[in-house]
Chain A
Amino acid sequence: MKQKEKTSQGSASEDAELIKAFQAGKKAAFDELVLSHKDKVFNLCYWFVGDYQDANDLAQDVFFKAFKALKNFRFESAFSTWIYRIAVNTCKNRLKSFQYRLKKKFVHLNNTAAAKNNPGVEIADESSSPEIELGRKEKSRLIQTAINSLPTEKKAVVVLRDIEGLSYEEISSVTGFNLGTVKSKLARARQDLREKLKGEV
């Protein structure tokens, strides 16, 4: 599946061409970039904050920032790395924001009981069996909760690696951590998740 997503996202050289076109004044080129990258950005945002609406707002912010900054893009990294970097920073800032913390607290206080019975996010799925579907949703919810409880940096690394499928080098480029840090943070994030999900999944 990851493989499929990757191929549908277009290559780095195509992105570079589109950016050049955009910088030359062809504003429509940006739409193509958005179309090929919106889902992975959205997915990252979703797993980062764990809320569909928040993820939508964040992904919008990410592309809006990208739109404003793209004319100064200097091709020092791939567009995908660049957009991931914007996404991770945007998500980090959102998690840091007082507004978000307040909301999280508020939602937590109100929905602790309800959350167990409500998967919260409706994800379009074409699974055949309702049982499998239910089990999957439950698993997804549990994993989501576990990821949410991770500290931001560990979360960024594990989402980028295991959900977005980036290589260690790409993660290093997106987060700015050196390779060793990426490896150790990922190892610890996985350990944390394993412990949190032990016996539940």
Chain B
Amino acid sequence: MKCAGIKQLLSEYIDGVLDAQTKEHLEEHISTCANCRQELQELKALVKDLGSLKYTKAPDDFIDRLHERIEPSFSLRKIMKTLFVPMRIKIPIQLVTVTATAVLVFSVINLQQPVMQLSDVPMVLEKEEVKQEVIKEPVKPTPGRKIFVQKPASTKTVAHKKQKPTKAKDIALKGLKMEKATDKKAFVRTMQKEKRTIELALVLKTGELGKANLQFAPKEKALSPERVEALDEESKAYLGSSSRSRIAGKVAAKEEVFADAAKKDKKAETPLPAQPAELKEKAGEPELDVDKITEKLKKLVKDLNGEIKSIEYDNKQGHPIFLTAEIPADKYTVFYGGLKEMGALHGPTPAVNENKKEMIKIKLVISK
């Protein structure tokens, strides 16, 4: 074995961990190699020196100092831990809570601001405002559709009606319900002023519109039963909400009627997709289809000596979506029947004893 190999083993030789054979071999080498013998001596001396180094002891106050560090963890640190470590977790949660509350309060205040402003409006101005409300009252705040009922509002009646509830209203204005309250009042006034308004919803027949759809909106396929149902629900919901604002008493009865009508219509519609031959033929000329509906409605109203007040058209497909008209009260039965031919109709069924001379206002919502 060469010196390099021997030198690597010297350390183990000093510690006496070499196996007998290697040890013998090493000793044999050392006896002949002065260089390695020298190194062994030096290493032995080093190990001895290292072993005889003064044992550096810990200071006397070592354990006291340690106690100072440990004991707080028995008492103070434990308290600190239970108090502040969970706090560290709590703080973000509290922060979140605080932030959420702040955002909520801020948004509520912001939302309330218009209401507050309304309540601050002087009395004279308030009259004006109510008047406006009556004139431009959104019928159905559906996004994308702008529908406004145009009613000739008589300022006198409004002003007259107003006088009484002003004080009570002042109190009511304070709360959030204020807006709804005024809405209701406006409705009540409208009802009294205009004698009678009948709201109707017409869901156009599937067969007819299916074709119209294919022509005008190729993406949207023929109405599925689900879609019809959804629309039914929609119109029902709409009617429900508007009827809520009507005079109490009528409401319950009407809603029942709506429900019945809806059921009937669904039954009549789904199993019988086949329409009268006449309708089918007309539907065969799709360009005329949209106008057809309008034309039909106009004709219907005209035939009954009625007057069309306004028609709103859908922006995309161009078919009428909202119609207001005035017809003689005794012609309502005919009008109702005429509409029913066009599709599923939701609205109050004609009563038997109609006052002939009275004009009734019809609000018709048309959907597909």
On chain B, the number of residues with a Cβ less than 8 Å from chain A's Cβ atoms is 33
Q: Say whether B46 contacts A197, CB under 8 Å.
A: yes
Q: Once the chains bind, are B62 and A42 in contact (CB under 8 Å)?
A: yes
Q: What are the residues of chain A within 8 A of B43 when measuring CB–CB? A: 190-191, 194
Query: Are A140 and B53 in touch, CB under 8 angstroms?
Result: yes
CA distance A194 to B14 in the complex (A): 14
Binds A, one of B4-12, B82-90, B145-153: B4-12
Bound together, the chains give a CA A140 to CA B56 distance in angstroms of: 11
Enumerate 28 A-B pairs (CB-CB under 8 Å) in ascending A order. Answer: A30-B70, A34-B62, A34-B66, A38-B63, A39-B57, A43-B57, A47-B53, A47-B56, A56-B58, A56-B59, A64-B66, A123-B54, A123-B56, A124-B57, A136-B54, A143-B49, A158-B50, A162-B50, A163-B53, A168-B15, A168-B17, A183-B11, A183-B17, A184-B8, A187-B10, A190-B46, A190-B47, A198-B42
CA distance A93 to B46 in the complex (A): 28
Task: With A60-B62, A187-B12, A190-B43 given, name 18 new contacts (CB 8 A).
Answer: A2-B51, A35-B63, A38-B58, A42-B57, A47-B56, A56-B62, A59-B58, A59-B62, A60-B65, A67-B66, A140-B53, A143-B50, A161-B15, A190-B11, A193-B46, A194-B43, A194-B46, A201-B46
Interface on A for B, CB 8 Å cutoff? 1-2, 5, 27, 30-31, 34-35, 38-39, 41-43, 46-47, 52, 55-56, 59-60, 63-64, 67-68, 121, 123-125, 136, 139-140, 143, 158, 161-163, 165, 168, 183-184, 186-187, 190-191, 193-194, 197-198, 201
Q: Looking across the interface, which residue of chain A has its beta carbon closest to that of B69?
A: A64
From DSSP, what is the main secondary structure of chain B's interface residues? helix
**Contacting residues of chain B (22-75) with chain A, CB-CB under 8 angstroms:** 39, 42-43, 45-47, 49-59, 62-63, 65-66, 69-70, 73-74
